Amino acid sequence: MFLRPSTLLLTLFLALVAGSAIRKDVDEFDSNKGKDGIVDGDIMLTEAQLRILNGTAKRSKRQITKIWKKWPDAKVFYYYENEFTSLKRELMSYAMAHISSNTCVKFQESNSATNRIRFTNTGGCASYIGMNGGEQTLWFGDGCLIFGTAVHEIMHSLGLFHTHSRFDRDNFLSVSYKDVPENMVGNLEKETEQTTYNAVPFEYGSTMLYRYNTFGEGTLVSKNEDYQKTMGLRRVSFYDLVNINVRYSCGCAKSLTCENGGYTNPSNCATCVCPTGFAGTLCNEAPSNTIKLTAESYWKGYWVNFGYSTSIQTTNYYLAYLWITAPADKTIEVKIMDLSGFTCSYGCNYNGVEVKYMGDPRITNPLRCCAQDTEYLNQVISSKQNPTPIVMQQRYGSSKLTIHYRYVDTPLSSNKKSTNGYDNYQYYV
């Protein structure tokens, strides 16, 4: 066994910058403490919507569809208040561009459209659910300066709820009210099958899911403990984009044969939208910023520095990848040996590593960002993917990852295949 080094560093020149100091890890709920009229941490509701949720209005699927209105023709109008800073405009424009380039939803700046969103500096991070009619406000304060939070609030304005509010959330989360202030208990209520619908599997890596300690220590506990540090990630997942596409019935007249769970891009029907770790027209290529490794039948070692050549904190992630390949139908195994220069946090929102070993290439796999979580180090991870991508994310400075990897003769084809229960794509389980 031997160790091969490499370095993936980016000189910071085009990245959005939030300041030179690393700020306390906050989320939408933290930013909205003390703000009146907020439910579920960062959602504003109209009086009609509140009556529906409180059960004082009769509910039917038709009525609910009307209450959580979609934007006609998937076109959203918006404008910025004069005081909305240039940094926030750039960040919000980037978030809207990310959504529009992967879905059929389009955004157009207009302060005179009949239905429009007004972006304001004040009042934390909050949004109404869906299109309300007329002018509605999206609050984006100084505690919201991360790309995934911008997408999070826009997704609310498109009509999407939190992942921890799903009616099936108890299958995936244990919710404790022990340390939750009495006036915050309502923020943990579930939706019902009558008020929402689930279009994708429960996604621990969704930008719509809060952290383990958002409402109080141990409030939201993953029933799969591997995901505890992943919850609260603000990277924007593949299934987040699928959720938007299903909500707005996006599609193309002709579908491409996208691989690895990708889908034909409604914004550009000549290419596919690919899960994180895959790229190319048909999602069968490695992304840019990828180092390709070839596994052998014995353990090999590799370490890599990745990130920025500066300690300035950015508002979005620099992503780099390792792509481990093996002979066809062989099973790849990976061990994380060391995490150096990582910031341990719930949500891994400063830096982190994701080994994509699960059968569904679209789902977010558990992230690792805590060197002190030694139970995850030197543990064999058996992958259902060949090649196996490893996603490395960084928001400031650089980190060092050390891995061992090999393949074993166990055929991937000996595994059964299944679907996620929401579409027909089959993968090894």
Catalytic residue among 47, 83, 135, 153: 153
The sign of the dihedral angle between the CA atoms of 30, 35, 40, 43 is negative
- In sequence order, the 6+-apart residues with CB closer than 8 A to the CB of 126 are 28, 32, 35, 38, 42, 43, 44, 138, 139, 153
- In sequence order, the 6+-apart residues with CB closer than 8 A to the CB of 391 are 276, 277, 319, 321, 353, 354, 356
Residue 67 near residue 48 (C-beta atoms within 8 A): yes
Q: Beta partners for 382?
A: 333
Q: Beta partners for 136?
A: 117
Residue 402 near residue 337 (C-beta atoms within 8 A): yes
How many helices (DSSP H) and strands (DSSP E) are in the chain? 6, 25
- 152 annotated as belonging to a binding site for a ligand: yes
Residue 193: active-site member: no
In three-state secondary structure terms, 169 is helix
C-alpha to C-alpha distances, 162 to 100, 157, 189, 190, 325, nearest whole angstrom: 20, 12, 11, 10, 36
In three-state secondary structure terms, 263 is strand
- 156 annotated as belonging to a binding site for a ligand: yes
- 162 annotated as belonging to a binding site for a ligand: yes
- In sequence order, the 6+-apart residues with CB closer than 8 A to the CB of 239 are 200, 201, 203, 206, 362, 363, 364
Q: Beta partners for 408?
A: 331
| Residue ranges of the binding site for Zn(2+) | 152, 156, 162
Catalytic residues: 153
